[in-house]
Amino acid sequence: MSDGPFAELSGVTRTYGGVAVLEDVSLAVRPGVTAVIGPNGSGKSTLLGVLAGAVDPTDGRVRYVGPAVDRAIGYLPQRVPFREEFTARETLAFYARLAGDDPDESLERVGLSDAADRRVGALSGGMRRLLGIAQATVGDPPLVVLDEPASGLDPGMCERAFRTAADASGADTAVVVSSHDLDLVDEHADRVVVLDRGRVVAAGPRDRLCSDRGVDDVAGLYRAVVAGDAVGADEGVREERSAVHVTGVSER
């Protein structure tokens, strides 16, 4: 697996109405699955929007540095936005035509071939998310950004959405996914970014972050870093706060 970064954020800040939603975030996104976790309102969606180019930072810089292709970044926003009057196939056909891809292959990849002729408005929430993931991977972009692909779904559909996202990652693809489902993050993520109040409070390979804090899994890491109830967590968080702003996932 190539370990060079596909995207770099340096000193990114985003404010709305003068309130900082994202503050001085520096990260490098590498191939594999990177999970962004944090409490509600911690800036996850804004961070993913900045990465996808959907949100302009008020300060700092974001750069795509991956392979030069026609479609560099795939993006699924938190709210799946497709027009309800189109069928699943028509929706993907529009995007596939722009990217020179096959819509039926994309539908098959997420297991929606049987629902190809159903209107988006008639799809279940889970199916819409899968359609969104299929859209985000149309044209095989090297960087795929998925904002809570498993949000509001039943456990089975959550697992399916996450597995589909994880399957899209690999040596040539970086998948960045935000989620509140820490068990699924634990199962699928190679790297973890923990956000709290707009700042990165921990970032790096999942196994290393867990072992550094003496916890068994991502849920334990979250409690240690955000809630601060693990042994020695307060000290660790303080160290990480100062370090991550400079180093981020890339450990630069």
Nearer Cβ to another protein, position 11 or 228? 11
Phi and psi based region of residue 232 (left: phi greater than 0; alpha: psi -120 to 50; beta: remaining): left
- What element of type H or E holds 155? helix 155-168
Nearer to another protein, 17 or 156 (CB): 17
Judged by beta carbon, residue 131 or residue 182, the one nearer another protein is: 131
In the complex, minimum distance from the CB of residue 145 to another protein, in angstroms, rounded to a whole number: 9
* Pairing between β-strand 174-178 and β-strand 32-37 as defined by DSSP bridges: parallel
SS3 per residue for 5-51: CCEEEEEEEEEECCEEEEEEEEEEECCEEEEEECCCCCCHHHHHHHH
Binding site for another protein (CB under 8 A): 15-18, 49, 52-59, 70-77, 79, 81-83, 85-86, 90, 94-95, 97-99, 135, 139, 141
Least gap, CB of 71 to another protein (angstroms)? 6
Q: How far is the CB of 234 from another protein (least distance, A)?
A: 30
Q: How far is the CB of 175 from another protein (least distance, A)?
A: 14
Nearer CB in complex with another protein: 82/162: 82
d(CA 46, CA 56): 9
